[in-house]
Each structure stands twice: as structure tokens, then as C-alpha cells.
């Protein structure tokens, strides 16, 4: 039929006669042989004009109203026409096997309304005919290439998903809360135990973290005698422990709060010291102004002196701590000795000693129960006491000055907790057994005769303090804050001990706060505080931090009220303890191989309990302060998360992220695919990710937070060199994607040529179900004459390293690097920019060289998808039903902020006399899919012959690629066809003239209807493998997309990705 001379109509008639006579002969013999089915199918596929056959058969049957040929059991399932118009020359889709959009393709198999139809598979449209018939002959069914029916709840029976489916040492002196200990006596043992539980759990957690690797620190020069420069290792204390364990988000939040808490703690301890001094002044009636103002004056003077000691260096601070600790130990010994030698003069003040053991027990029992006054509660008392137990991190705070932090911190911290707990309980029991709660201090209150109504322990000791029930008294545990001085053998030594405890704690906090803050600033978590990272002197002292801490402490000292400051401090410290405990739990939960603490006496669940206890105690101490602390921590956490500091500390957060990803990936591998859960997982052949920004940003727009996106990069060249480049590129370009907020992965591969590399990526990229199901390629619009690296690649406009460095300086600059395009020279490395073009670089120094007009246009085009698209349209030319991917991608685009103002317009092919019907049918289908659209246009003139000048332009374009075998000797023509299979033969060109005209005509219609669209999404033409040369197919795509806005050609694999069922 092809060799018959004459018009296309004559050839069509000959084709029809051949098929008709065959059909009639078989029908008459009532046999449908393999020959018959083979001939019919071969003709339909080879000619690509099924309409000739079906129209002829319909006419023969006398049915002029419908040319639909009903499929018989033993005929291919797709042997029916997609339209009911016999005028095939005016009907799009009638003369092609490719199915047009139709609602019946999306029905369930058991749908009550309508019959489910099966669209031709992609293999049937694309595979070589020989391959098809091999598959056919292996099929036991009479229907060739039988397709598996996808179940509504997943894949077809037995079918598996494939990549091609659409992707202390602590200072004991610091922990001595002796200022108001007598006042806390009621239930004091319970208060101490509660505080000890919290601090012990936290101490265990601190020990675990501190022994999991090297704690940043160095040898203190005054201890070890090593070179002073080694002492410049900076310590971050709790900040360092938390940040290196949980990451910069939690570390940055708690580091700022913990530094501030230590600064305020300076004020608390100094106010405690000042209160004691003022009490002494009051006893001797030498107050300067009044109690409050005297506390402020003494506190201000004290903090200035402490600042001087701190600035003088760690040598002076450490020596001062030793002196203060010795004084404190002497004061405690003085107190213990004093309880055994009560003076008669002290009995009116409520101190009776252990002279009468039975009465001492009775005094203890009286004092053991609670007696809250002036709106005090158990937890308000706990809030006052708890800061006395907050010194457990003192060792961690100065880890930089410890010779062996890993050993010293666990031993010192736990030993300090044990010692202080024993001392606290010992003091509580001693003072509670020696001193009554209320005493007048009046010698006249001695009982001469026995009182019948007095049953207190004081009465049995011949003292009547009942007047204290109606009138406030000045002595006793509840009234005399200097009760320990009264009990002691030498009162001034107790005062010195109080001075020692408060000043040592204040000094430790004054040293800790600047160092913590300095470590925080050095990590550049908060760029605004960078100025405080600077250190001075041989020991890198944070002088600026000292000044800031001094100012904060001075401000709180001026409050001059210990009961106001203590709850705030308690909450800040508890927040730090909670996060330290949570750090251990989190690190254990993440099961990171790097979590191997040398300290083994910890448990992740006990650490979690400790974190919960800390949070509960925060609320019971002061609910509004707890809420304020939470808000501050949360705000700082969100800020640091948003800023994304460029640090990598191997935190447990990173480990848990990996563990979660691994577990979810494994869990996902057992999940069957379902059409409702389909999402595009794209392998984008970008080369280096920043070499094709337009392609990258467009795909990112519809895959962001929806599907997988992998940037494929094929390295071609010598293996050793390519592997070295790949190792460097892997980290560099993945970091580039993160910096540019691109939710994608970079996947480099080495291969002998681009095609092989792309095949490697399609087979191996991804993990489990997280594998690409959609391949995205950029189209070289100047493929006819341009260098292989030009299409969509703008790396020649700016140097690669310059782009990377400029990107780091300015996040608004979109850098571009290199390309991957098909090359006829496989020995070339596609990762290198072309050296054949004149390249314009932006120099890092001096003015930038202006770009030429062509490069400027290319640069503008490369950034067109990086900006908001405005109120325009996304034109969808849904010509062939590929399963719905052509429609799904535009919908996903409109869900993004950048594209939300764009409207979807749908263009379909149809019949001239049924345009309204086809429009309503498509509107019904789209409404069932819940996809909003602004307009539906039915084009009934797609098959109209294109303009002559466009046909001529097409012929001129393909002229260099034609074989012209009719003008050559047969041997020469056969040799050329074998050597250059990409050339277009005369027979091929004539055979596919109709399809060629269709592409040219579609371009005309696209220019007419979609010339102002933001983007055009269109069905990708399918060419028969082995029948259509690569040059002709590229020419079709060129003719289709020439002189248009950005166009996205899409072809699904003909399995449904949309459904209207719930």
C-alpha cells in the first residue's frame, strides 16, 4: 500500500482494502487465526492510522453513526475508536492508538455505573514490534500483550513496584544554703530529699555526657604548670554539654538562659551575703540608712570586689575559693560543736542543746511537721531552698580549667552531692533538735511553777513562749535568720562561714556566666552577640562578658529581696537540668554508635524521669515563672531553628533523625502502592544542581513537601579523576541545595557515557519505596547547532567557585555550575564547563563584565521560576490519557505559594459537532477529580493541515538530517543507514507525515491560545522504538515547542495516578 503511487487518500484506500478483504475472509471461514490478528495489529501499529481500518469496517457494516469497533474476546482490548465521528480527518485522536482522556479509564473494575476501559500501555505504544510479538507468542491468552489490571487498593496481583512507576568537679562551698536554713526546718528533710533526687539524677546525666568523648577543656596553667596558651580552651559548661548532645537549637536556647541564670545567681548570693551583714549591723545598731538600702549598698560594693577578683584571672579565683572553702568547713565544725555546749543565756532565745535527749527528741518532733506562715507553702519554701542545690554544674562550667574533665566531673559532682546532702540533713536534724520554733528572748518568760495548759517542749524546759502565738517574736527557728550563729560555739565564725558560702557561690557564678556566654558567642549561634566572643590575655578571659554579667547582677542586687530572686533562678536552673536529663534520654533513644559514655551508672528512663521531675518542680515553685521560662526557651529554639547555624556537632538529634528515617523507610517498604497516595518522585538530570536553575526550581515547585527529588549528575571521564570529583561534589552540592532551601538530594554517578550513567541512576537511585518514578530532562532548544553543554545550562555566565562563594555571602544569588547533556564524544567529562564558547566571568575584584543580550536573556529565563508567578494561567493540553500525570503536576503547582494565583486552563481535542458535549464531559471528569479549573477549551481543528510556510520551515530544519536514500545507490543507502541510524529516511518521513503535521499544527494552536501562559503542560508525543529515528523525533519536539512560553512535556506510564473514588 505504501508503494502505490498517488495521494494519501489512494494509499489509505489500498490499506483499507487489504485489511477489509482479510477481515471478510476470516469472518467467512469463522476462524480468527494468528495470521489475521497479526496482520491487523501490525498494520495498525506500523501505519499508526487505526482510523482507516475502523472507519472502513464500520462503513462495511453499514453503521455510519458510529465507527466504534466493539472488542471481541480474542481481539486486542484497545481496538475501539476513541471518538464516534467517522470524519477522521477532522477528528483528533481518531487516527492514533494513543487514547484521549476519558472517564472510563478511571473507573473501578467493579464499578456499577459505566464500564472500566483499559488504555493502551506505554509499552504497546513505544516498544519495537518484534518485541511485542515475542511477548504475544508467550501469552497464553488470545489477547496479545495482556495487561495486568491494577487493583483499587494497590498494584495488580503479583505486580511489584519498580523505579519506573511515577518518587564537680563541683564546689562544695557553692552548695551550702545556710543563710535561711533554720527557717526552712519544718519538713526540711523532705525538701532536701526532693532537691537531692533532682540533682542526683542530673548529676548522673551530666556524668554520662561528660564522659562520652573529650569534653572541651584544657589543663589549668596554675595547676599543671604547662604552657599558658593551653589554658585557652574555653568551657561552655551546661551549654557545651547540651549543645553537643542535642544540637544547636536546644543548646543555643539553654545556653543563653543558663548564662543569664548564672548572672542572676551572682545577685542572689550577694544579696544573701548582704542580708547577713545587715543583720549584724542591725544587732549593733549601726545601719547606714535602712535595711533595704543597706543591702543594696553592701551588695553593690561586694559585686565590684568580686568582679575585680574574677578579672584578675582564674589563679586568683581558684585560690580565693580554697580560702573560702576552708572558712566554710571551720564554720560547720563550729556549728556542730556549739550544739553540744548550749549557754544558759541562749535558752530564752529557744536554744536548749542535747542536755536532755528525750526533750531533744520532743523538740525535733515539734519541728518536723509543717507550720507555714505568711502565705508560705511547701513549694514556696522549696523554691527558696533549691538554689542552694544548684551548684552541681560548677565543675562542668569550668571544665576548661580541669586537668581531666572526664574523670573529675563525675567524681566531683556526685561526691559533692553526697557531701552537701549529708551536711544539709545533719544541720537540719541538729538545729531541729536543739532550737524551738518560737522564742521571745526574754529571761522573764522562765516558768517558776508548772503550767497545766502548756504541753510544748519549751514548757518542759521551764520556758513559756506562748505569747508568740499572739505577738510576733524575734527568736526561734521561724523568726531568727541568724539561728546558726546563736547555736554555734563562736558566732563570728558562722558569719564568716555564711560569707564564705555566699561569696564562693557568687564568685563561681560570676566566673561561669561569662565563660558560658563566651562559648555560646564563639559558636556564632546568635550573631548579634558575636562581640562577646572576644577573649583577652593569655587565658582568653571574656572581659566583655564579665562586664555584662556585672551589670545584670547589679540590676538584680538593687531589688534587694532574696525571696523574689530565688524562684526565677530556680526555674532557669531547672530548665537547664531538664534538658541535660533529656539529652541523655535522647542520646540513648537515638542508639547512635557514638554514644558510649565511660560512666555506666545511668539509665535513659531515669534520665527521662529526671527531666519530667524538673518540669513539674518548675511549675510547683512558680507557675508564671515556669511559663515564662518555657516561652523564652521555645522562642530561642524557634529562632535558632530558623537561622540554621552552620555547625555540625554530631548531636543526638541528628542521630535520631537518621534512626527515624531508617525506621520509616523500612516501614514504608511494606506499604503497597495506591493510586490515592501516588506522588511524583523525580530523578532530574540536572548535572550539578546549580547549573540548570530553571529546571531545578520548576521540579522543586511541584515536589516540595510532596514527593522525592533527586538531582542526577553523570561524571564522564577517567575513573580515578571522576571518583575524586564525585567525592568532593557530593558534600558541596548537597550543601548548596540545603543553603538554597531546595528539598532535594544530589546523586552523582560515574559512567562511560551519559546514557549509561542515566541508566545507572534510574536503576539504583533512591531507597526502597523512596525511589524515582519520574524522569525529568531539560530540552536543548538549540540542539541543531549548539555545543552539547548549552541547553538550560548557564554556568558559562559565571565561574563555578565564584558562584559558590557569592551564594554563601548572599542567599539571594542563585548560582549555577555545570551541565549534563547527551554527548557524541563520550570521552568528554560533562562536569566541566565548555571551553569552546566565549565565557564571561564575574571577577571577584573590580567591576563585573556586562553580559551580552543572548546571555542576559538566558540568565533571565533561568530565574523565571524563582519568583512569584502572578495572576496568569497554567495551560494544560491534555491531548492523550497517560493516567493523569499531565493533569496532576499542574494541580501540584497551584498548591504552592508561588503559583497559587495562577488558574488552570485545560485544552483537549474533540469533534467539531460535539464541542459542548466534550467540554461538559471533561468538566465532569475534572470536578470528580476535585481539580479547580478556570476554563476548558475543546479544539476540533487539530488535524487540520498546518500552514505551508510552517511545513517548509520544518523541511528546512530536518534537511541536514535526512538520508535521501532514493537519490543514492541501494548499497550506499544501506551503508549510510547502518552507520548513521539517526538519519531520517524518505520512507519514514512519508509514513509519519500525518504525525509530523500534527506537531506543526499543535504549535500553531499553542501560539494562538497559550502564548501568554506562565507555563504550558502538554502530553509528550510517543514514537515507536525502532521505527522513528532520533532526528525525526527531536524535530517533532522542536516543531511542537518552538517560540512558546516554557513548556513541560509529560508522559505518564499509562497507569492511573488520579482517582475520583474515596
Question: Are 1047 and 1016 a contacting pair, CB within 8 Å?
Answer: yes
Under the banding of pLDDT at 50, 70 and 90, the label for residue 821 is very low
Residue 551 has pLDDT above 90, yes or no: yes
Backbone angles phi, psi at 656, to 5 degrees: -70, -35
Residue 264 has pLDDT above 70, yes or no: yes
Residue 586 has pLDDT above 70, yes or no: yes
The kind and range of the H/E element at 407 are: helix 405-434
Residue 122 has pLDDT above 90, yes or no: no
What CATH class does 868-1061 carry? alpha beta
| Arithmetic mean of pLDDT over the chain | 74
C-alpha cell read off for 1046: 516554557
User: What are the residues facing 745 on neighbouring strands?
Assistant: 710
Under the banding of pLDDT at 50, 70 and 90, the label for residue 889 is very high
The kind and range of the H/E element at 711 are: strand 709-716
Contacts of 943 (CB under 8 A, 6+ apart): 88, 89, 90, 91, 92, 95, 998, 1001
Location of C-alpha cell 526550581: 697
Altogether, the residues listed in the chain come to a count of 1062
The full set of domain ranges for the chain reads 185-216+237-643, 676-801+811-821, 868-1061
Under the banding of pLDDT at 50, 70 and 90, the label for residue 875 is very high
CATH fold label, 185-216+237-643: Amino acid/polyamine transporter I (1.20.1740)
Question: Is there a common fold for 185-216+237-643 and 868-1061?
Answer: no
Residue 770 is classified by DSSP as B
| Residue 903 DSSP SS3 | strand
- Segment 636-660 shows an average pLDDT of 83
User: What are the residues facing 1047 on neighbouring strands?
Assistant: 1016
Contacts of 205 (CB under 8 A, 6+ apart): 580, 581, 583, 584, 602, 607, 610
Most confident of 72-76, 156-160, 484-488, 634-638: 634-638
- CATH match for 676-801+811-821 among 3.40.50.2300, 3.30.160.60, 3.40.50.620, 3.40.50.720: 3.40.50.620
Task: List, for residues 971-992, the tens digit of each pLDDT value.
Answer: 888 888 888 888 888 888 888 8
* Degrees to nearest 5, angle at CA 302 with 298 and 307: 155
User: What are the residues facing 536 on neighbouring strands?
Assistant: 541
Contacts of 708 (CB under 8 A, 6+ apart): 167, 679, 681, 682, 745, 766, 770, 771, 772
Closest C-alpha among 629, 643, 596, 198 to residue 387? 198
Residue 905 is classified by DSSP as E
Report the pLDDT value the prediction gives residue 825, as an integer from 0 to 100: 34
C-alpha dihedral (873, 879, 885, 889), degrees to nearest 10: -10
C-alpha cell read off for 195: 532537691
Task: List, for residues 520-537, the tens digit of each pLDDT value.
Answer: 888 888 888 888 888 887
Report the alpha-carbon distance of residue 776 to residue 1048 in Å, rounded: 10
Under the banding of pLDDT at 50, 70 and 90, the label for residue 150 is very low
Residue 281 has pLDDT above 50, yes or no: yes
Under the banding of pLDDT at 50, 70 and 90, the label for residue 298 is very high
Report the alpha-carbon distance of residue 609 to residue 723 in Å, rounded: 49
Chain Cα centroid distance, residue 506? 41
Report the alpha-carbon distance of residue 756 to residue 717 in Å, rounded: 13
Task: List, for residues 426-476, the tens digit of each pLDDT value.
Answer: 888 888 888 887 787 777 667 655 655 666 777 777 777 777 777 778 787
Question: Are 575 and 254 a contacting pair, CB within 8 Å?
Answer: yes
In the chain the first and final C-alpha atoms are separated, in Å, by 50
CB atoms under 10 Å from CB of 1034, counted, come to: 19
User: What are the residues facing 1017 on neighbouring strands?
Assistant: 876, 1048
Its pTM stands at 0.65
Under the banding of pLDDT at 50, 70 and 90, the label for residue 699 is very high
Residue 957 has pLDDT above 80, yes or no: yes
Buried b (16+ CB within 10 A) or exposed e, 603-642: bbebbbebbebbbebbbebbeebbeebeebbeebbeebee
| Residue 709 DSSP SS3 | strand
Closest C-alpha among 682, 680, 699 to residue 884? 680
Amino acid at each position: 500500500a505504501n508503494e502505490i503511487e498517488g495521494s494519501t487518500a489512494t494509499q489509505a484506500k489500498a490499506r483499507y482494502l487489504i485489511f477489509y478483504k482479510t477481515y471478510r475472509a476470516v469472518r467467512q471461514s469463522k476462524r480468527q487465526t494468528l495470521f489475521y490478528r497479526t496482520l491487523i495489529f501490525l498494520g495498525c501499529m506500523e501505519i499508526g492510522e487505526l482510523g482507516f481500518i475502523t472507519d472502513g469496517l464500520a462503513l462495511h457494516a453499514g453503521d455510519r453513526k458510529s465507527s466504534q469497533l466493539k472488542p471481541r474476546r480474542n481481539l486486542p482490548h484497545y481496538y475501539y475508536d476513541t471518538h464516534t465521528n467517522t470524519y477522521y480527518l477532522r477528528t483528533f485522536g481518531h487516527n492514533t492508538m494513543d487514547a484521549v482522556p476519558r472517564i472510563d479509564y478511571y473507573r473501578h473494575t467493579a464499578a456499577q455505573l459505566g464500564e472500566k476501559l483499559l488504555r493502551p500501555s506505554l509499552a504497546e505504544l513505544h516498544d519495537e514490534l518484534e518485541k511485542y510479538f515475542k511477548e504475544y507468542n508467550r501469552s497464553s491468552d488470545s489477547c496479545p500483550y495482556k495487561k495486568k489490571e491494577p487493583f483499587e487498593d494497590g498494584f495488580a496481583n503479583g505486580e511489584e513496584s519498580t523505579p519506573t512507576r511515577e518518587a564537680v568537679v563541683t564546689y562544695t562551698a557553692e552548695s551550702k544554703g545556710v543563710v535561711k536554713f533554720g527557717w526552712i526546718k519544718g519538713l526540711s528533710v523532705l525538701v532536701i530529699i526532693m532537691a537531692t533526687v533532682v540533682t542526683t539524677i542530673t548529676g548522673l546525666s551530666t556524668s554520662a555526657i561528660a564522659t562520652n568523648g573529650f569534653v572541651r577543656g584544657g589543663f589549668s596553667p596554675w595547676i599543671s604548670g604547662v604552657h599558658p596558651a593551653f589554658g585557652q580552651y574555653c568551657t561552655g559548661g551546661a551549654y557545651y554539654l547540651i549543645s553537643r548532645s542535642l544540637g544547636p537549637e536546644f543548646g543555643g536556647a539553654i545556653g543563653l538562659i543558663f548564662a543569664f541564670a548564672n548572672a542572676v545567681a551572682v545577685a542572689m548570693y550577694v544579696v544573701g551575703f548582704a542580708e547577713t551583714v545587715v543583720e549584724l549591723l542591725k544587732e549593733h545598731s549601726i545601719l547606714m540608712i535602712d535595711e533595704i538600702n543597706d543591702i543594696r549598698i553592701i551588695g553593690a560594693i561586694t559585686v565590684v570586689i568580686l568582679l575585680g577578683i574574677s578579672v584578675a584571672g582564674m589563679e586568683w579565683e581558684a585560690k580565693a575559693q580554697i580560702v573560702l572553702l576552708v572558712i566554710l568547713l571551720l564554720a560547720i565544725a563550729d556549728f556542730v560543736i556549739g550544739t553540744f555546749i548550749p549557754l544558759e543565756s541562749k535558752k530564752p532565745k529557744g536554744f536548749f542543746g542535747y542536755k536532755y535527749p528525750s526533750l531533744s527528741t520532743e523538740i525535733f518532733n515539734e519541728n518536723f511537721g509543717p507550720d507555714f506562715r505568711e502565705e508560705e507553702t511547701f513549694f514556696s519554701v522549696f523554691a527558696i531552698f533549691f538554689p542552694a542545690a544548684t551548684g552541681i554544674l560548677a565543675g562542668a562550667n569550668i571544665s576548661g580549667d580541669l586537668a581531666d574533665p572526664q574523670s573529675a566531673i563525675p567524681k566531683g559532682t556526685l561526691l559533692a552531692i553526697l557531701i552537701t546532702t549529708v551536711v544539709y540533713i545533719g544541720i537540719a536534724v541538729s538545729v531541729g533538735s536543739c532550737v524551738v520554733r518560737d522564742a521571745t528572748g526574754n529571761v522573764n518568760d522562765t516558768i517558776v511553777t508548772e503550767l497545766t495548759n502548756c504541753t510544748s517542749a519549751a514548757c518542759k524546759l521551764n520556758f513559756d513562749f506562748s505569747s508568740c502565738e499572739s505577738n510576733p517574736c524575734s527568736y526561734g527557728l521561724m523568726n531568727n535568720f541568724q539561728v546558726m550563729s546563736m547555736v554555734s560555739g563562736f558566732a563570728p565564725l558562722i558569719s564568716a562561714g555564711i560569707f564564705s558560702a555566699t561569696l564562693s557561690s557568687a564568685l563561681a557564678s560570676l566566673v561561669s556566666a561569662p565563660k558560658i556566654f563566651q562559648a555560646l558567642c564563639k559558636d556564632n549561634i546568635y550573631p548579634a552577640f558575636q562581640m562577646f566572643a572576644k577573649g583577652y590575655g593569655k587565658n582568653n578571659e571574656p572581659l566583655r562578658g564579665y562586664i555584662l554579667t556585672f551589670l545584670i547582677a547589679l540590676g538584680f542586687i538593687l531589688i534587694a529581696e532574696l525571696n523574689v530572686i530565688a524562684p526565677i533562678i530556680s526555674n532557669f536552673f531547672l530548665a537547664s537540668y531538664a534538658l541535660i536529663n533529656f539529652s541523655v534520654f535522647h542520646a540513648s533513644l537515638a542508639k547512635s554508635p557514638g554514644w558510649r559514655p565511660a560512666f555506666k551508672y545511668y539509665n535513659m528512663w531515669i534520665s527521662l524521669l529526671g527531666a519530667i521531675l524538673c518540669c513539674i518542680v518548675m511549675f510547683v515553685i512558680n507557675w508564671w515563672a515556669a511559663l515564662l521560662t518555657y516561652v523564652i526557651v521555645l522562642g530561642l529554639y524557634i529562632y535558632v531553628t530558623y537561622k540554621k547555624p552552620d555547625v555540625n556537632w554530631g548531636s543526638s538529634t541528628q542521630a535520631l533523625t537518621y534512626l527515624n528515617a531508617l525506621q520509616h523507610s523500612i516501614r514504608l517498604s511494606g506499604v503497597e502502592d495506591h493510586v490515592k497516595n501516588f506522588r511524583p518522585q523525580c530523578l532530574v538530570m540536572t548535572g550539578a544542581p546549580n547549573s540548570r536553575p530553571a529546571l531545578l526550581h520548576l521540579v522543586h515547585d511541584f515536589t516540595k513537601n510532596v514527593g522525592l527529588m533527586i538531582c542526577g549528575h553523570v561524571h564522564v571521564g577517567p575513573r580515578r579523576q571522576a571518583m575524586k570529583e564525585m567525592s568532593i561534589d557530593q558534600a558541596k552540592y548537597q550543601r548548596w541545595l540545603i543553603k538554597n532551601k531546595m528539598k532535594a538530594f544530589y546523586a552523582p554517578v560515574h559512567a562511560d557515557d551519559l546514557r549509561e550513567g542515566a541508566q545507572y541512576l534510574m536503576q539504583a537511585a533512591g531507597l526502597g519505596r523512596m525511589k524515582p518514578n519520574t524522569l525529568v530532562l531539560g530540552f536543548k532548544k538549540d540542539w541543531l547547532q549548539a555545543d552539547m553543554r548549552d541547553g538550560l545550562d548557564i554556568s558559562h555566565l559565571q565561574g563555578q567557585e565564584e558562584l559558590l562563594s557569592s551564594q554563601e555571602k548572599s542567599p539571594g544569588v542563585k548560582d549555577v555550575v555545570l551541565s549534563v547533556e547527551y554527548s557524541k564524544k563520550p570521552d568528554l567529562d560533562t562536569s566541566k564547563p565548555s571551553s569552546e564558547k566565549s565565557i564571561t566571568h564575574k571577577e571577584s575584584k573590580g567591576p563585573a563584565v556586562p553580559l551580552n543580550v543572548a546571555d542576559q536573556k538566558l540568565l533571565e529565563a533561568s530565574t523565571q521560576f524563582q519568583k512569584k508567578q502572578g495572576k496568569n494561567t497554567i495551560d494544560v493540553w491534555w491531548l492523550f490519557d497517560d493516567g493523569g500525570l499531565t493533569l496532576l503536576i499542574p494541580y501540584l503547582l497551584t498548591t504552592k505559594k508561588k503559583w497559587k494565583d495562577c488558574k488552570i486552563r485545560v485544552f483537549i481535542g474533540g469533534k467539531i459537532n460535539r464541542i459542548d458535549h466534550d467540554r461538559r464531559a471533561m468538566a465532569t471528569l475534572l470536578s470528580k477529580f476535585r481539580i479547580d479549573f478556570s476554563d476548558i477549551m475543546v479544539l476540533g481543528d487539530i488535524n487540520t493541515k498546518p500552514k505551508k510556510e510552517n511545513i517548509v520551515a520544518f523541511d528546512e530544519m530536518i534537511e541536514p538530517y535526512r538520508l535521501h536514500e532514493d537519490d543514492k545507490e541501494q548499497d550506499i543507502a544501506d551503508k549510510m543507514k547502518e552507520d548513521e541510524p539517526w538519519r531520517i529516511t524518505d520512507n519514514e518521513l512519508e509514513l509519519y507525515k500525518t504525525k509530523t503535521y500534527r506537531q506543526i499544527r499543535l504549535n500553531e494552536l499553542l501560539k494562538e491560545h497559550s502564548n501568554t501562559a506562565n507555563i504550558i503542560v502538554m502530553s509528550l508525543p510517543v514514537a515507536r522504538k525502532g521505527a522513528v529515528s532520533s532526528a525525526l523525533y527531536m524535530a517533532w519536539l522542536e516543531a511542537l515547542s518552538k517560540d512558546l512560553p516554557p513548556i513541560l512535556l509529560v508522559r505518564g506510564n499509562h497507569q492511573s495516578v488520579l482517582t475520583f473514588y474515596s
